[in-house]
Structure 1
């Protein structure tokens, strides 16, 4: 984790120079500035170094990581001591310097730098690696594949029909999902063999040679002789071209990792308009979509039935599964999550082992570790995707393993954690949150992360990772001293282990006192909700920066805390002594009903505050602080849910970059008086999401919405449907959620020319009876969700005329509403929109 440790240290050094300079002496400032330059050099080297590691590079990365960790420990430890001295009013004019300790680390980094310079002076860093040559496909014996018959047929049709011009068909999916096996099935199919005059297969892999690729294709075509092997690249290219000219051919490039492969070989394939085809298999979406002549074929996971059939075919052959093993066998298969690689590996193991309930139960409970410890090839297949990642993505990918198996990971939470853990490489003009989402998007497109749920406007809302990949992340993270997981068995924490990040899945076998003695502990994520209180001890780790738990009784925070999520036992007011230590806090997520943060305007690093009820004090006036000393919370993007929020100019000028706001009011008389200055909301020029809760109907007369709003939700506001025109006129509104009596009245008839950008509409527990609308009222609506609207008679049939409509979801409504939804579905199908979906849920 050299790159991630460098990023974290760079963030720390820059923060120290910008915000903690008062705790440094002159020599320390100069050391930190010098260290920053050296880190930039090492970071550039890693950016440019090959993705596939060599022994030399691995050794260098370990040294870089350890040196960066040591520098981080020295600086944060001494700054922490000096802050505590100031709190205790014990600070004098002198500090105990840490220059000499930092000197030792700088000497180590200088030594590493010299080694890097020596490597860079070599002709090519690639010489450090063993080059992998393209290879031929394995023997064309019977492949272990059950199911996917429809996929095979679809690919065969796409290869033999359609355009006569040459086309490229990519098969894309995660490692181990069966891309090569499926493609091989098609390649060896009797009809495909008869249809194409020439076929050739070459495995490209990560580090390929264009010349070796040509030799591989010619060898597959039985055109490679000793004389041909001696030809130059251009002669080989010409020879291949002539052998394909005038013939209908199928060329397969298996395991492609780079778009440059296609750039290098596309000119070698003649286009004689005779239906020739190129197939590529890849794990990367950008490679699959590089040639737009043909849409990629995305591999899917096997269904439970297909998985079970594949498992039984390998374990039992023609014999059926014994009755006593069927239940646990199906549990094992279910845990493979439809990944053919996992099924084939575990089935192969069980086919050779004693077929007893006891052993199969053990395998089912320890599936990932059993696979990893019994099949090196499986681990290599999984690790290839990791090794091919750019350095800036490796830390973020491994971090996914910190969550438990099958965990539905909130993207919002993951992004905040990545930011707090200092894993992101800053990009000019982009927030760290935007950078994080780009990283996530890239991991999804590399088929390493699975999308679970999308938001109302199509963004990724939650994600997950296959258990085999997660197991790799946990093992690799522990090997690289990145994080440790405590879950009773796998990767438990041994005594003396220097843990920097700790994920607790079970408190059994966890020595908390040993963890407390470990001064390197930076992050604690507690997923053991039943014993959440035990992790409170770990808040005493003096350098802790991330603490995520269910509930806590702590009464102090570490100085370095950047992320806190949990619920306090005290409910109204955080002690000022506690708040002073929140100077580095970026994210505060708290489940308390009402919480007052008296010194929030002093917390310069805040990015996200999300509470059940937040009471904000008025900020100090400019007259009190002085115009030049007003603290602006530039990083603050989320502020939810604020009670009685006063939108004065003094408040809004301190939160200019706010993107998400949730507010409620419990004093209607004061609200009507204009005391809360809701007309000033329009000054929040970057506000995209606004939640309004428990407001009196009259508030619409005094509020001015920012035109930047994309998402708006109402709850318990009791507004009239006639007031909806104010909402409908918002020019950029994409999501509208009307919840729990937010609007009252029996009829809603929108006006034409409103809701021009609305894509998502949710009605939940609204007493509406008659809804009169059609395509002109919601011209680009995509999703309509109606929940527990017991009085609504039907969905307007005109909604079915909206050309962009993708789905309708109905939950706990009248039968007539369900009937109207199904009628719209039939209408959509009659118009050729077969992908249109209607989902009916009845919870009552």
Structure 2
């Protein structure tokens, strides 16, 4: 990981060394020398990494020292730049007085920065001496580390390929669910990890026959660590159709949630999927406060997956246990071939006969385990030559099952095209087991950590998508959801076995610690753990005080109950979900390096002066309820903002200069702005791709200019009462337009002239549809636009 650390720091330090010449004065020369030494150091890192992996303890310590000194260099230079960023915001006469008043203190601080940089350089000198002593060579061989871009058109993101060998079992399980006795019963699927249980059940769950037969469908992933109240809330949100009840559900007690589930399911034939169950008493725990899942003698079913047969046998109701078989040799070869030798690459493959012969032997080595077959196939699909396949076969370990699986994962990880992508993959371990991870979270995390470097032809988000696609093609992550509109990947997950491997690898090299207090001890920590991690993920913790390293760069938290943050001076990432933080406002104001701030489902929090966070790229406060009436307009003073999602009121006065890098904006109107048109401000944002506006009740026309929204692809209006005026040429790339509970006096004819518009979705209230212009509606359909009308 030291290689990716130094590479990321170099990108940041390099730009600072150019941009801040006048400001840093004498410090600039020190910055230049520091950058040169970091670049020299990077040349040694590949050889050092190979020595570390071979078990050289001295090199492992050296790599830790390299990582730490690189981060120290970034911290001190970035803090120096912060002074200029802060002073630049103080404008006019008052600002000039403030800057001159601060000048003596700033000069003193700059001198301290210079001293700190010299100290870092001395550490680097000691590191170079260690490099010579350990005989680490300068790595001169140039390797193509670009990520292949086959495009999404060839990628199969569905489970069809993974269904190889399970066709008959799929038919049998569907039959057990939709036919048979009327009493409530269970179908349990049992097999070892990686055998394809979840894939099979998801295919059953989404089948047309099952959807048609059941009135209510519920999917909940249980996992090894779960809280009953959390699972019940997940269930009720899936079956309660009222979209306005989210916060009300969050405030409910366990008994209240269970009672609501019972009231809804009594009137329906339902299917409840309990995926990845580990404990024998899980069903009893879900029904402990009240019997939430009734037997109305209407053919309702429970579909359960588990690795343990005793879990399947324990459920006290009629149960059919289906032991999932391993694939035979022919099925194994078919699955392996679909991943290793994809049809879209066949024309360019040499030695196809030899590869097929080797491939059949390799497939037979995987013991019929689908996960092993697809991960190995994904790795070999990137190495389509006879020598690479022969080497894998000759070096095949004699171990079985999980050890075999670990070896395959390690090989695919090492083969990833560059060290940044390897860091991105390990980062997925920071999310809880079986967690569905939104792409927006992945992209903002990787970008905040400088793992996604700028390229001439792609935005940072586009490069992030390429990275995810690479991991999907290698079967290292699984796609959960794609956009029906754009085909983009929207959500992914990582298999438990792959996640466990990532945790061990990330902990071993000091990249990340995962601390889960519901298990015995700390996940990822071990007596041999010698490197202090610079990132921590706390999960299901009930501790009042979190213990973190002093130089922590990223803190992720899931299911934390009433905790206090430590001092987080160097924090760059704060991502917290479903938690209660007691001292949020006191701590966050001092995190001047912060790039990503996500507080999702965190109740009421006090919002500090966001404008102090001058490096902030992402702020996401969805389903969190700030106690302050609004977030200060100083938010718009932050020039680095890329993604904003805030449920509180953020003002847009006409004088505001919104950051030009902003790509996604979700915003509510303030009471003072109900009658104002925000479009003249927003349409000038050159990079905006997604816009969601809520609560604009304008009494004027909302105007869209001819040059407005040059890159906007998705526009969503919610609870808005508006009239539109559109000039020709506006929103040239808009493909998706959504109206949710809006009062629309007229759908403008201008929609017919949007060249990229493909989807229009309207969720209307009763009577509002009378305002629609039939000719516009017909015209949209005639031009091939998919129009969806649905009454709320």
Given the two structures, how large is their TM-score scaled by the length of structure 2?
0.59
Offset, 1:512 = 3.2
Match of 1:426 among 443, 447, 454: 454
CA distance in 2, matches of 1:432, 1:658: 14
CA distance in 2, matches of 1:485, 1:262: 44
Question: Given the alignment, which residue of 104, 108, 117 partners 1:99?
Answer: 117
Cα deviation per residue 1:492-538 (whole Å; 9 max; x = unaligned)? 66899733111111224x583642xx311111111015x0x30x423
Larger Rg, first or second structure (1 or 2): 1
Give the C-alpha shift of residue 91 in structure 1: 1.3
2:412 is aligned with 1:385? yes
Q: Is the Cα–Cα contact under 8 Å of residues 13 and 77 in structure 2 kept in the other structure? A: no
Matched, 1:398 2:426: yes
Alignment of 1:98-177 (within 5 A): 98-108=116-126, 110-111=128-129, 119=137, 148=165
* Separation in structure 2 between the aligned mates of residue 472 and residue 486 of structure 1, nearest angstrom: 15
Q: Of 539, 551, 569, which residue of structure 2 is paired with 1:520?
A: 551
Q: Contact 1:407 / 1:464 at 8 angstroms: preserved in 2? A: yes
Secondary structure at 2:739 match in 1: strand
In structure 2, the residue corresponding to 1:398 is in which secondary structure? helix
Alignment of 1:253-264 (within 5 A): none
Q: Gaps spanning 5+ residues in structure 1: where?
A: 126-145, 153-173, 190-202, 204-251, 292-340, 346-374, 622-630, 767-844
Aligned to 1:232: none
Deviation at 1:610, TM superposition (A): 0.7
Q: For residues 494 and 760 of structure 1, do their structure 2 counterparts lie closer, same or farther at Cα, with a shift above 3 Å needed?
A: farther
Cα distance, 1:712–1:20 mapped onto 2, change above 3 Å: farther
1:491 and 2:523 are equivalent in the alignment: yes
- Conservation of the 8 A alpha-carbon contact between 1:545 and 1:561: yes
CA–CA separation in structure 2 for the residues paired with 1:685 and 1:528: 40
1:716: how far off?
Answer: 2.5
Aligned to 2:537: 503
Equivalent pair of 1:663/1:693 in contact (CA under 8 Å): yes
- Equivalent of residue 588 in structure 1, options 605, 609, 619: 619
Change (3 A) 1:427 1:486: same
The 3 A distance-change label for structure 1 pair 46 and 762 is farther
Distance in structure 2 (CA, Å) of the matches to 1:115 and 1:733 = 64
- The Cα of 1:695 is off from its aligned counterpart by 2.9
Cα distance in 1 for partners of 2:51, 2:411 equals 9
Pair 1:480-2:517 in alignment: no
- CA change 1:414–1:277 in 2 (3 A) is closer
State the alpha-carbon separation in 2 of the partners of residues 652 and 658 from structure 1: 8
**Consecutive unaligned residues in structure 2, runs of 5 or more:** 88-100, 144-162, 170-192, 198-325, 364-373, 385-396
Of residues 436, 441, 444 in structure 1, which corresponds to 2:472? 444
Q: Deviations over 1:737-795 (max 9, x none)?
A: 212439512986766653577676544425xxxxxxxxxxxxxxxxxxxxxxxxxxxxx
1:683 pairs with 2:708: yes
Assess, with a 3 A threshold, how the Cα gap between structure 1 residues 390 and 582 changes in structure 2: closer, same or farther: same
> 1:679·1:704 contact (CA, 8 Å) conserved in 2?
no
Asked if the contact 2:696–2:721 (Cα under 8 Å) also holds between the matched residues in 1, the reply is no
Deviation at 1:108, TM superposition (A): 4.4
Label 1:718 to 1:147 Cα distance change in 2 as closer, same or farther (>3 A).
Answer: closer
Residue in structure 1 matched with residue 698 of structure 2 by the alignment: 668
- Residue 10 of structure 1 corresponds to which residue in structure 2? 10
Deviation at 1:657, TM superposition (A): 1.4
Asked whether the 8 Å contact 1:406–1:465 carries over to 2, the reply is: yes
Contact preservation (8 Å) 1:485, 1:491? yes
Change in 2 beyond 3 A, CA 1:266/1:112: farther
CA shift at 1:107, angstroms? Answer: 1.6
What secondary structure is seen at the aligned counterpart in 2 of 1:678? strand
State which of 574, 592, 595 in structure 2 corresponds to 1:562. Answer: 595
Take 2:435 and 2:594, find their aligned partners in 1: how far apart are those partners?
A: 25
Answer whether contact 1:478 1:491 (CA < 8 A) is retained. Answer: no
Question: Counterpart in 2 of 1:31?
Answer: 30
What is the aligned partner in structure 2 of residue 459 from structure 1? 488
What's the offset of the Cα at 1:584? 0.9
CA offset digits 1:207-258 (Å, max 9, x no partner): xxxxxxxxxxxxxxxxxxxxxxxxxxxxxxxxxxxxxxxxxxxxx999899x
Q: Is the 8 A contact 1:526 1:548 kept in 2?
A: yes
Which residue of 1 is the match for residue 761 of structure 2? 737
Shift of 1:549: 2.0
Equivalenced residues, count: 553
Q: Matches of residues 300-379 of structure 1 in structure 2 within 5 Å?
A: 345=401, 376-379=403-406
Distance in 1 (CA, whole Å) between partners of 2:166 and 2:625 is 54
Q: Say if 2:351 is the partner of 1:266.
A: yes
Query: Equivalent of 2:640, from 594, 605, 613?
Result: 605
Cα separation, partners in 2 of 1:286 and 1:23, compared to 1, 3 Å: same
Q: Residue 754 of structure 1 aligns with which residue?
A: 780
The match for 1:543 among 532, 551, 570 is 570
Counterparts in 2 of 1:74 and 1:734: CA distance versus 1, 3 Å: same
State the 1:693 CA deviation. Answer: 2.5
Write the distance in 2 (CA, Å) between the matches of 1:112 and 1:611.
49
Contact 2:165–2:331 (CA under 8 A) maintained in structure 1: no
Contact 1:503 1:524 in 2 (8 A): yes
